């Protein structure tokens, strides 16, 4: 009997909080992240730009591990912004967390590239992270959610190839 297929949905439902979160906090975080990444792009390869990118990468990592609600941007939102707003239906915290993980991968690549002198690669990776954050901030699109099905389809194709014609499909 083959092992159950890996599901992103299961991986994201780990010990970190599953409490629903205010979606506006995630959007504010995406907006602030976009500003940070834009600043990195404009000022690269200055030392402080790389340091800023390193800080943002740590924030992404923290958000990916503990959930987007744990990031400084989210804390800022809860302390300063949300008290002034009417309450709104909270949403599933997993998509914002997945978005943090996506941001982490791009910015980590960018950071490594910039730190090792591969400037163009670094800039493009940061640009990709910026695009993802901006899509969320400006258009409310969750890139991770959009790619979710495509990723599942790609994995399915690989699994299907590795099982021979004589194996019953799942």
Partner 1 sequence: MPAGLIVLVVAVLATTLVGLHRRRSDGRMRSGSGEPTLSRADLGAEPGARATLLQFSSAFCQPCRATRAVLAEVATLVPGVEHVEVDAESRLELVRRLGIIRTPTVLVLDPAGRELRRVSGVPRRDAVLATLAELT
Chain residues in the site for partner 1 (CB under 8 A): 7-9, 12, 23, 38, 40-45, 49, 91-92, 94-95, 119-120, 123-124, 126-128, 130-131, 134-135, 138-139, 141-142, 145-146, 148-150, 152-153, 156, 169
Any long-range contacts for 71-80 (C-beta under 8 Å, 24+ apart)? Answer: 71/29, 71/100, 73/25, 73/28, 73/29, 73/32, 73/33, 74/21, 74/25, 74/26, 74/29, 76/28, 76/32, 77/22, 77/24, 77/25, 77/28, 77/29, 78/22, 78/25
Measured from the CB atom, is 72 or 152 closer to partner 1?
152
Query: Cβ 69 to partner 1, closest distance in Å?
Result: 15
- Smallest gap from Cβ 154 to partner 1, in A, equals 10
Burial class (CB in 10 A: 0-12, 13-18, 19+), 87: exposed
Please report how close the Cβ of residue 43 comes to partner 1 at its closest, in angstroms. 7
Provide, rounded to whole angstroms, the least separation between the CB of residue 59 and partner 1. 19
Indicate the residue among 76 and 123 with the shorter CB distance to partner 1. 123
Place of tokens 């943002």: 56
The minimum distance between CB 83 and partner 1, in angstroms, equals: 24
């Amino acid at each position: 009997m083959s092992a159950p297929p890996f599901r992103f949905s299961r991986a994201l439902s780990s010990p970190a909080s599953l409490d629903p979160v205010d979606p506006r906090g995630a959007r504010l975080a995406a907006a602030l992240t976009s500003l940070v990444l834009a600043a990195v792009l404009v000022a690269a390869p200055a030392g402080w730009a790389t340091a800023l990118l390193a800080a943002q990468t740590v924030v992404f990592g923290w958000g990916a591990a503990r959930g987007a609600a744990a990031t400084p941007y989210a804390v800022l939102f809860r302390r300063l912004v949300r008290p002034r707003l009417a309450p709104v239906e909270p949403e599933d915290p997993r998509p914002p967390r997945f978005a943090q993980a996506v941001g982490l991968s791009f910015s980590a690549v960018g950071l490594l590239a910039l730190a090792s002198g591969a400037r163009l690669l670094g800039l493009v990776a940061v640009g990709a992270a910026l695009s993802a954050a901006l899509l969320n901030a400006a258009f409310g699109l969750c890139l991770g959610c959009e790619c979710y099905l495509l990723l599942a389809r790609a994995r399915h194709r690989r699994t299907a190839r590795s099982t021979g014609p004589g194996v019953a499909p799942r």
